[in-house]
Amino acid sequence: MIDPPSERLLRLQPGPTLGRKIVTKELMLTQTQTSSEPTVLAFTDADSCAAWLRAASLTSIPRHYEAILGQLKCLAEAEISPRERARIAEVLREPVMFLHTELARRYAGKPQPASEREHEAAEQAIALWRALWAQYSACLKPLLEGDPQLEGVKAKVLQRGIWVGKQLIIVHGLARRLPAPADWQELHAYYRLAEILESTGTAVSDELVPSAIGLSCYSTYCHALLLDLADLCAMSVRQIELTDRWLAMWARKVFPYAQERETEGPVIVIDLDAAGGATLFPVAPDNAGESTRYGYPAKLVTSVRGRLKRLGSGANPADLQLGHDVSVEACSALLCHLDQRWYVLSLKRNPAAESQSDLELCAGGLGAAYFRIVGRTFKSQDLLGRLSYQGTQHLATLGALTDYDRDKDDAEKSWAWEHWHGGDEGTMASVRRTGAGQHRWHLDQMVIVRDQDRVRCGYITRVALENQGDLAVMLKLWRGAPAAIAVRPSTTMLVEESPVPALMLAETPDEQACLIQPPRTFSAGRMLHSVSSGPERPERRFRLTRLGQRGADFERVAFEEIN
């Protein structure tokens, strides 16, 4: 029997250059459903493990998952030499990666709070990677003790353990969660051990990452740190996949130095004793301890900005090693985001300008926005002066009550206000909700925001489920005051299209007036006209000129008003 994870390699005394103890985390494996019969280890070495995998059936993903996880748990309790354990873990990485991909289809990028099925899939993915991580953790103490069987593969064993930790960072980002502090502590401990064993820069190979350049312990460790700095909770699933792919080539451009170096740009500061990742600073802090490491992103950002410049001049993403399956627009947007996160220091918040208050949020697209601004539900038939037979009969029973909105009660329930608390600083808001709510929130979703003074609109730029269970959301608020209108396309065809709800954002000193319309309806030069609701609101005509933003449930477009 091997020692429990909390007692393996756990109190290692580093050399005088470090002067601190390495403490790995106690691995917590999520419990899954188990059969009535105990699972028995089906192999004893890497060859028999490979044979067992070839005979395994892939017709049922849940059964395959239970089989792999069950074998990993049995392996953690088995008496196997460290070298053979590492070889078995190497064989099991590919099926774990396959299951990771299948499970991600259920939870990756889904609105939060997650449904029961989505939450279960995310927990299963985390449990699977942690069970694999336990196999590499079991090799750490023999590595430190100088096991001769591991002498020639110590860099690869450590790099693989750091790689699994990097995969856990990705899983949390796909699930819109913040990585657990214990995962960061384990990841830092792996890198510190690589320093002790002088294996940080030793080159290794990995068939699962064919596009990787310069793989080593330090490049994989910086890969994980840079992923976290990129803020995965503010990125789409596709952007996370691309960033992970690009960092396989770029992460080697950043090295975590033990001593501060001269630089004219920002510095990435890593604390190997911290329960979190790296932080970007304008200059290195003065009170740094022996556990502090310094990374300099100048070379990395030069590569990012060089690609941005070449894309702007007409270069193809494939020629820039960005991929054959991604557009110029998608590459440019993601590279700009990474440049901001890896090099450009955000302005510090001004406590005097930021107001901490209670805000009310509502989601539901343009239908919800129209209802919350006008106070009535949107009905295209009423705007056209048409009613169905049932509607006419119902209206006749109401007598003089001509302003009756029979869908209002349902709308109040479907598009209810939720109470959030946070900071509002001009066009940005960072809010948090404790406990359950009615709406589910996702990136680029339109949001209606109400405070004591006014109603505004914006969209979500970040969604994160924090370790305490709170849901944190960041919003970008549009400057113009929103006015709800009904529009329909102008057409010469005999078929008359129905009106749709839209918002008009008033012109501000910084931005021109624009329209918020339903998604996938923009076409340059398209003519729209408002549906008049009375002499006080005459008909207006608009020519759409430019698509400013495409969100999940809206489009923001520039227009010219035609007299």
SS3 category, 442: coil
Q: What average pLDDT does range 297-312 have in this prediction?
A: 96
For position 288, what pLDDT does the model report? 82
For position 58, what pLDDT does the model report? 79
Q: Is the pLDDT of residue 2 over 50?
A: no
- CA-to-CA distance for 370 and 455, rounded, in angstroms? 12
Q: Which residues of 184-199 are buried (b: 16+ CB within 10 A; e: fewer)?
A: bbbbbbbbbbbbbbeb
The mean of the pLDDT values for the chain is 86
- CA-to-CA distance for 551 and 518, rounded, in angstroms? 10
At 246, is the pLDDT very low, low, confident or very high (cuts 50, 70, 90)? very high
- CA-to-CA distance for 522 and 43, rounded, in angstroms? 59
Around Cβ 345, how many Cβ atoms within 10 Å? 11
Structure tokens at 460: 């979500």
Question: Are 268 and 225 in contact, with CB atoms under 8 Å apart?
Answer: yes
At 25, is the pLDDT very low, low, confident or very high (cuts 50, 70, 90)? very low
What share of the chain has pLDDT > 70, as a percent?
Answer: 85
- Radius of gyration of the chain from its Cα atoms, rounded to whole angstroms: 28
For position 29, what pLDDT does the model report? 32
CA 479 from chain centre, in angstroms, equals 26
- CA-to-CA distance for 434 and 56, rounded, in angstroms? 44
Q: Is the pLDDT of residue 4 over 70?
A: no
Question: Are 360 and 463 in contact, with CB atoms under 8 Å apart?
Answer: no
pLDDT tens digits for 126-183? 999 999 999 999 999 999 999 999 999 999 999 999 999 999 999 999 999 999 999 9
DSSP 522: -
At 399, is the pLDDT very low, low, confident or very high (cuts 50, 70, 90)? very low
Among 159-163, 208-212, 494-498, the range scoring the smallest mean pLDDT is 494-498
Q: What average pLDDT does range 357-376 have in this prediction?
A: 91
For position 382, what pLDDT does the model report? 57
Q: Provide the whole-model pTM.
A: 0.87
Q: Is the pLDDT of residue 377 over 50?
A: yes
Q: What are phi and psi of 47, to 5 degrees?
A: -65, -45
pLDDT tens digits for 259-294? 998 887 899 999 999 999 999 999 888 888 899 999
- CA-to-CA distance for 497 and 244, rounded, in angstroms? 45
Q: Is the pLDDT of residue 355 over 90?
A: no
Q: Which residues of 207-220 are buried (b: 16+ CB within 10 A; e: fewer)?
A: eebeebeebbbbbb
Structure tokens at 221: 């460790």
Residues 6+ apart with CB under 8 A from 21: 11, 12, 13, 14
Q: What average pLDDT does range 419-446 have in this prediction?
A: 88
Nearest residue to 245 (alpha-carbon basis) of 330, 305, 175: 330
- CA-to-CA distance for 427 and 152, rounded, in angstroms? 56
For position 388, what pLDDT does the model report? 45
- CA-to-CA distance for 415 and 339, rounded, in angstroms? 37
Q: Is the pLDDT of residue 352 over 70?
A: no
- CA-to-CA distance for 235 and 246, rounded, in angstroms? 15
CA torsion, points 120, 123, 129, 131, in degrees to nearest 10?
A: -100
Between the alpha carbon of residue 239 and those of residues 282, 329, 476, 556, the distances in Å are 26, 12, 19, 22
- CA-to-CA distance for 110 and 105, rounded, in angstroms? 9
Nearest residue to 52 (alpha-carbon basis) of 42, 38, 65: 42
At 28, is the pLDDT very low, low, confident or very high (cuts 50, 70, 90)? very low
Q: Is the pLDDT of residue 488 over 50?
A: yes
Question: Are 542 and 524 in contact, with CB atoms under 8 Å apart?
Answer: no
Residue type, 59: T
Widest CA span in the chain: 94
- CA-to-CA distance for 265 and 280, rounded, in angstroms? 10
Structure tokens at 303: 């590569």
Residues 6+ apart with CB under 8 A from 459: 444, 445, 446, 447, 475, 476, 549, 551, 554
Structure tokens at 261: 């170096």
Q: Which residue has the higher pLDDT, 481 or 116?
A: 116
For position 495, what pLDDT does the model report? 64
For position 403, what pLDDT does the model report? 62
For position 12, what pLDDT does the model report? 40
At 398, is the pLDDT very low, low, confident or very high (cuts 50, 70, 90)? very low
Q: What average pLDDT does range 198-207 have in this prediction?
A: 95
Among 7-11, 311-315, 349-353, the range scoring the smallest mean pLDDT is 7-11
For position 460, what pLDDT does the model report? 97
Instruction: List strands edge to edge, sheet with 279-281.
Output: 279-281, 267-271, 292-295
Around Cβ 530, how many Cβ atoms within 10 Å? 19
SS3 category, 221: helix
For position 494, what pLDDT does the model report? 58
pLDDT tens digits for 31-84? 334 344 567 999 999 999 999 999 987 788 999 999 999 999 999 999 999 999
- CA-to-CA distance for 328 and 459, rounded, in angstroms? 24
Nearest residue to 70 (alpha-carbon basis) of 123, 114, 127, 119: 127
What share of the chain has pLDDT > 90, as a percent?
Answer: 69
Residues 6+ apart with CB under 8 A from 235: 173, 243, 334, 337, 443
For position 349, what pLDDT does the model report? 47
Q: Is the pLDDT of residue 326 over 90?
A: yes
